[in-house]
Chain A
Amino acid sequence: MLGFAFAFIATVLHIVLCFVGAPLVTGIINKLRAWALGRRGPPLLQPYLHLARLLRKITLVPDTATDLFTFWPLGAFLALAVATMLIPGFTTGMLTADAGDYVTIIGLFALARSATMLGGLETGFGFGGAGAAREALFGIFAEGALLVLLLAFALLAQTTSVDGIATAFRTAHIGISVSLGFALAAMLAVALTETGRIPTDNPSGHLELGMVHEAMVLEYSGRLLALLDYGGMLRLLAWMNLIGTIFLPFGMAQATEIFSWPGGLALWAGKLLVMAVALSIFEVSRAKMRVFRVPEFLGAALLLGMLAGVFLFVAARIGA
């Protein structure tokens, strides 16, 4: 009974921290990017101010849009919110652990993606359609790569739930496996695409020819845009959590043991900070690639995922 109570509190704590902290993570990354470029950068709390400002603004709906125009941001946000709740952060064994597995999370990300795409198509406006078409093109490869990766994870951890994968990778002596290295490379490529970061999309630019995500949300304003932007911040945090949980599961707390929480929380913050630094340095040192190069980039990720699977089959055959 006590264990259940602790698990409940841990779950609530995780959800509150994620939902409150997501804009802060974005703010930190923006700040680090600016520092790396030798600028002072916006204040850390700028994303909160941005959201607050958007909430005060009037929400405009284009004349050409249908009634569903207001629904798509909500759909995208809800899918991302559920995904954020499902992916473990500082602890394993949360109440949401059994509610969904890796496939569910891929599905939720795909749901958010298609809702944003439909929102972009809603107005019948050129940029929205172009952005949606590109997003669909990227999605085919990104989701394929994620599903192939599932093969590797499931073979190693004997389970498909993210919580189970984290537990297996932390406790069982998997060792440093080549397949996991391949899987990490593939996962990072997909994560950069999914969150719209630099090699595939520019998060801060309204450069008309190259934009993908920005093009789809171009017609949204006010509260709807706030919802979409907040969803984007949640997605970034959820992806960082997912990578941290699968590839850096050391030091995660146990939900039922309250004394392991402070260490878990501190390490979680540390991991997020390390990932934020890595992401910002990577972003400022790379150029955005051409849109039609992206399928190649993601195709490489897909093949790396397959490679991970191949080597696991080998290891299974050898019995190493």
Chain B
Amino acid sequence: MSLTFSLAHLMGGIILLCAFLQLSQRRLAAMVTLYQLEALVLAAAAFWQGYAQHEINLYLTGLITFALKAMLLPWGLREIVQRFNMVRAVETALPMAAAMILGLALIGIAVLVVLPVTMHAISLTREDLAIALSVVLLGLLLMIVRRNALAQIIGFLSMENGLVLAAIGMPGMPFVAEFSVALLVLLAFLVVGVFLLRIREHFDTLDISGLEDIERRGR
């Protein structure tokens, strides 16, 4: 087992751990911190892969990840948390334990799906792919089990981290695709930020149950 693989694997594991722990946190501040740690490790993983694969593009990916996702977005998220005064625990749609058990099941599913599909690939890549898919699914789950709009954004961002993790592990991912994904995430974040302000103006809260109310009345 080479050092290249061990380190990449370890970083993948830490990212998965962060994604999983986000499910167990009730406070937005803790979720943002976990997200920041996740992005930092992801940037480190990208640099490491760039060094291992001798790929200049991966350094760029790492740089973008570091500047955008590990610095700018957490700062913006914290700003929103402060401004909207959401330092206390947010509501969950599911009990915490049920959400975590679901998360575990999703990781199991990711593993079971990835393994047979990639039978002919190198074993090392497959496990990394399984981790990346798990992170994506956990991000989705996080978006489902939180009622708070900001928590859902964190889930979305965490999901995107999983995609990048999958991309840097595979040799030959075109840089243009990654770059556009990163830009898209930034744009989405800006749009959602404006959207949050609107929700806030209408309902005085970021709990999206108000939206569901309107939807029901509309039907």
Binding site for B on A (CB under 8 A): 173, 175-178, 181-182, 185, 295-296, 299-300, 303-304, 306-307, 310-311, 314-315, 317-320
Contacts and interface: CB of A to CB of B under 8 A. Distances in A.
A299 B126 CA distance: 29
Dominant secondary structure at the B interface: helix
A300 B98 CA distance: 11
B21 interface: yes
Interface of B: 1, 6-7, 9-10, 12-14, 16-17, 20-21, 24, 96-97, 100-101, 103-104, 107-108, 111, 115, 123-124, 126-127, 130-131
Given A300-B24, A304-B20, A178 B13 contact: yes
A176 B108 contact: no
B108 A318 contact: no
A175 B131 contact: no
Contact of B10 (A178, A303, A304): A178
A304 to B, nearest CB: 7
Given A176-B10, A178-B9, A181-B14, 10 more contacts: A176-B7, A181-B10, A181-B17, A182-B13, A296-B96, A304-B17, A307-B107, A311-B111, A314-B130, A320-B1
Contacts of B17: 181-182, 185, 304
Chain B CB within 10 A, most for which of A295, A300, A306, A317: A300
Contact of A303 (B16, B101, B126, B127): B101
B115 A314 contact: yes
A185 B21 CA distance: 11
B124 A320 contact: yes
A307 B1 contact: no
A299 B107 contact: no
A319 B9 CA distance: 15
Nearest to A313: B111
- 5 tightest A-B contacts by CB? A178-B13, A175-B1, A320-B123, A176-B6, A318-B123
A314 to B, nearest CB: 5
Chain B CB within 10 A, most for which of A182, A304, A314: A314
Contacts of B10: 176, 178, 181
A4 B215 CA distance: 78
